[in-house]
Amino acid sequence: MLNFCLILILLLGPIIATCAADVSHTFKKVQLSDKFWAEGATFGDFNHDGTMDIVAGPYWYEGPDFQKRHEFYGATVTFARKKPDGTEEKIEGFEGALGTENKYSDNFFAYAYDFNKDGWDDILIIGFPGEQSAWYENPRGQEVHWKKYVALDVTDNESPTFTDITGDGKPEIVCASKGCYGYAEPDWNDPAKPWKFHAISPNNKYQRFTHGMGVGDVNGDGRQDLLETSRLQQPALHVFLLRRCPACASARYDPRIRSRPGGPWSSGCSTGSALPSRSSASSPCRMLRRSRCR
Ligand SMILES: [Ca+2]
Ligand SMILES: [Ca+2]
Ligand SMILES: [Ca+2]
Ligand SMILES: [Ca+2]
């Protein structure tokens, strides 16, 4: 009987432990605004008090209660909403679901990062697809509009991101721009200057509303790769494996292209273990040089 009980405990032990760890968490909803200013939001310590704050649209909200807001760029947009009696009322912000046409905002993604390394979180805003990305310099406690620096004039694709794709510990804007996928990085000695865009893909005429882009280490080599899928071409997944390309003197990275139009990986580059021959007509090194975006 003792052995039976011991076996039962051993069998149920993991289940009991799992149940104990399966704690039900609850969340308190805090509404920042009843207006529509942005598609995205993020957090950072914008007043440098050690407590995280939230940024959404042209405002940042002081933590921990997020009741006090500060305007860091001009909140000048309004739209007209027709009331049941036929008269119009002016509503601040963008229309979104507050009106009848569900119009987008001009502010899609927000990121907090100390670009000028003064110890105060600055804010990066990626705007409407195809428009500019800009970062705003934290004025260190002054109640003024933050100084704006345009990082990238054209940020295409509907899922750009801000992450360290190059592996140097500093993030870049990863997106499409003017036809190519790639990334934009600042001169970290002077991030106020326009950032340099590095094309990763050939110019496949990707545009502002192209969908589907991701960043991740697909081949497990410890380096971030870029994935994209385009509905404008054949339904296929392309993976650009980022590696230094000794065969391409002018290219920083060797874009190895895998495509899978519904079947197994089909490209000769799929192993990621060796560079393709430069004599090959399909060499991605040649494609990069031939179709360079800049
Ligand atoms: Ca704070
Ligand atoms: Ca800063
Ligand atoms: Ca980087
Ligand atoms: Ca990789």
DSSP of 118-159: SSS-EEEEEESTTS-EEEEE--TT--SPPEEEEEES--EEEE
Q: Looking at residue 260, what is its pLDDT?
A: 41
Q: What is the whole-number distance in angstroms between the Cα of residue 119 and the centre of ligand 2? A: 6
pLDDT digits (tens, 9 = 90+) for 248-272: 433 344 444 444 433 323 222 322 3
Q: For the ranges 1-10, 11-20, 114-123, 187-196, which has the lowest average pLDDT? A: 1-10
Q: Looking at residue 83, what is its pLDDT?
A: 86
Q: Looking at residue 114, what is its pLDDT?
A: 98
**What is this structure's pTM?**
0.77
Q: Looking at residue 37, what is its pLDDT?
A: 98
In this prediction, residues 220-238 reach a mean pLDDT of 70
Q: Are 117 and 47 in contact (CB under 8 A)?
A: no
Question: Can you tell me the distance from the alpha carbon of 85 to that of 97, in angstroms, rounded to the nearest whole number?
Answer: 20
pLDDT digits (tens, 9 = 90+) for 89-138: 999 999 999 988 889 999 999 999 999 999 999 999 999 999 999 999 99
Sheet holding 147-152, edge to edge: 107-113, 122-127, 133-137, 147-152
Q: What is the whole-number distance in angstroms between the Cα of residue 165 and the centre of ligand 3? A: 5
Q: What is the whole-number distance in angstroms between the Cα of residue 171 and the centre of ligand 3? A: 5
Q: What is the whole-number distance in angstroms between the Cα of residue 275 and the centre of ligand 4? A: 14
- Ligand nearest to the CA of residue 172, numbered in listed order: 3
pLDDT digits (tens, 9 = 90+) for 21-77: 678 889 999 999 999 999 999 999 999 999 999 999 999 999 999 999 999 999 999
Among the listed residues 229, 234, 183, the one whose alpha carbon sits nearest the alpha carbon of residue 206? 229
Q: Looking at residue 204, what is its pLDDT?
A: 85
Q: Looking at residue 200, what is its pLDDT?
A: 87
Question: Can you tell me the distance from the alpha carbon of 150 to that of 194, in angstroms, rounded to the nearest whole number?
Answer: 6
Q: Looking at residue 279, what is its pLDDT?
A: 28
Q: Higher-confidence residue: 62 or 289?
A: 62
Q: What is the whole-number distance in angstroms between the Cα of residue 145 and the centre of ligand 4? A: 40
- Ligand nearest to the CA of residue 258, numbered in listed order: 4
pLDDT digits (tens, 9 = 90+) for 172-223: 999 999 999 999 999 999 999 999 999 988 888 899 998 888 898 887 888 8
Q: Looking at residue 290, what is its pLDDT?
A: 32
